[in-house]
Amino acid sequence: MSTSPAAGPDDTRPDDSWLTTDPAWAGVRQEVIDVDGRPVRVLRADATGDGAAPQLLVHGLGGSAANWIDVIAPLAARGPVVAVDLPGFGHTRIVDSDRLTVPGHVSFVRHVVDALGWERATVHGNSMGGLVATHLAARHPDVVERLVLVSPALPPSCALRLLPPSVPAVQGMLTMGVPSIGGTVLAAATGRDVRPARALLGLIFTDPDAVRPTLLQAMAADALSGDPDQLADRRLALRASTASIARLWLEPGPTWRAIRAVTAPTLVLGGTADALVPARVLRHVLAARPDWRGELITDRRHALMLSEPHEFLAHVEDWLTTHRRAA
């Protein structure tokens, strides 16, 4: 499988000029790679350090590879880094063979690893991406060297204990649709009506007013770009993936079996103020896997790598260093 930039007959390369607007993103580039004959958008950075496994970053529901933009270059100090757009999200178009479900995303990510020519990788997953990464690690232990779960969308222990999602959680899942996310972020970035934007950004950022303009503009540009068919892809992927997560929450047995089956060293990061994945869910998971390292950070929300990239990087670096010493 090819890892060079590739374009299918209907592929239009997404604009990447936003990558030049912030010095924090120096060294990060956008590519369209070939995965089983279909074009897939990635953001990547070459290794700037030695001796570590490649790192693959998997975004959450309604997100894209751009959700990892602030941590891609720093993570490259430990090895090459690739953040990927799942099918229908970001700038990876849907093809007929796609299953827009959690199991389908697991299979897709496995093929991405092969396409990159990697044997093993440290896999980072946020929200739905954390759920996907957990199942990937359980199904393909030979591929996942380490696992970093950021507010992973994991269910309670059994269906009888499943609580209905909170109102903020439901609203958050719905408002993560496209183009709503682009519109609300664009409103904040351009000074228009910021009330919807604040509600959405408040699920991620402790202080939405403190988000730097370059990040807001980049999020808006990435979410809004694309033709009408591409925007329709994003809506379809959002609906289908949401339904798949709901099924796994209502019937949590397969996910709990996956949690118990993971053999890779695992770091779980969450926030006590996360309305989408409450801290109690992660505490329950960590109680079942005391060998996993967990950090529930006071007053942090749903996407630590986006809202507090320096904190995310500090926790990951400390864990990797400690794990390496223990090994």
Task: Give the pLDDT band of residue 248 (cuts 50, 70, 90).
Answer: very high
Say how far apart CA 89 and CA 268 lie, in whole Å.
Answer: 24
Q: Is the pLDDT of residue 8 over 50?
A: no
Interval 90-119: pLDDT, tens? 999 999 888 999 999 999 999 999 999 999
**Mean predicted confidence (pLDDT) in 41-56:** 90
For the chain, what are the domain ranges?
Answer: 17-162+242-326
pLDDT of residue 220: 78
Contacts of 32-35 with C-beta under 8 Å, sequence gap 24+, read 32/5, 32/6, 32/7, 32/91, 33/2, 33/3, 33/4, 33/5, 33/6, 33/115, 33/116, 34/1, 34/2, 34/3, 34/4, 34/6, 34/115, 35/1, 35/108, 35/111, 35/112, 35/115
Q: Please, which residues bridge with residue 33 across strands?
A: 5, 40
pLDDT of residue 181: 45
Q: Is the pLDDT of residue 6 over 90?
A: no
Considering the four listed CATH numbers 3.40.50.150, 3.60.120.10, 3.40.50.2020, 3.40.50.1820, the one that applies to the domain covering 17-162+242-326 is 3.40.50.1820
Task: Give the pLDDT band of residue 266 (cuts 50, 70, 90).
Answer: very high
Q: Which of 187, 190, 208 is nearest to 199 (CA)?
A: 208
